[in-house]
């Protein structure tokens, strides 16, 4: 989900567990579907994705159930922050998720959010780096 950081966005996730003697067969039948509950399903080609998660040396984000990652997808970098997981009455999982293309502006916005959540000290300044790994390292975050 790629949204403006000034608007809080949430990810709602459902997981499917196939309980069958031949789960691959069932998965293939599911993937052959063209509609679900009246909604069209679009088939997508495979995409190469590499995720690298970051945290403070004290694991501050993990302790507060947040996740910060850099995702490289088809040679484009994204920065993503995910918040605490909440299980809804219907069993769906809901959590804050903000994902933006890597830029100095998006990094400054993520740092502001981390400071607001008391996950980074106020003294951390978003230094200018084109490289996402260097920028996160300068804020005291490590893979």
**Distance in angstroms (rounded) separating the CA atoms of residues 69 and 53:** 4
* H/E segment holding residue 60: helix 60-63
Maximum Cα–Cα distance across the chain: 56
* The pLDDT value given to residue 2: 40
pLDDT of residue 5: 45
The secondary element (H helix, E strand) that includes residue 86 is strand 76-87
pTM, entire model: 0.67
Strand 67-73 to 76-87 pairing: antiparallel
Q: Which run of H or of E encompasses 51?
A: strand 49-54
pLDDT tens, position by position, for the chain (143 residues)?
Answer: 344 444 566 656 667 788 999 999 998 898 888 888 888 888 777 788 899 999 999 999 999 999 999 999 888 999 999 988 888 888 777 888 888 999 888 888 888 888 888 888 888 776 667 778 888 888 888 89
């Amino acid at each position: 989900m790629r949204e403006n950081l000034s608007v809080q966005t949430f990810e709602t996730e459902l997981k499917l567990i196939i309980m069958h003697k031949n789960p691959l067969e069932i998965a293939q039948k599911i993937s052959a579907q063209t509609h679900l509950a009246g909604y069209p399903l679009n088939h997508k080609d495979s995409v190469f994705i590499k995720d690298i998660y970051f945290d403070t040396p004290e694991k501050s984000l993990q302790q507060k159930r947040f996740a910060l990652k850099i995702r490289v997808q088809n040679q484009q970098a994204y920065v993503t922050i995910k918040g605490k997981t909440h299980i809804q009455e219907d069993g769906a999982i809901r959590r804050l998720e903000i994902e933006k293309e890597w830029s100095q502006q998006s990094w400054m916005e993520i740092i502001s959010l981390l400071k607001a959540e008391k996950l980074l000290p106020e003294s951390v300044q978003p230094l200018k780096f084109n490289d996402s790994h260097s920028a996160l390292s300068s804020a005291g975050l490590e893979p």
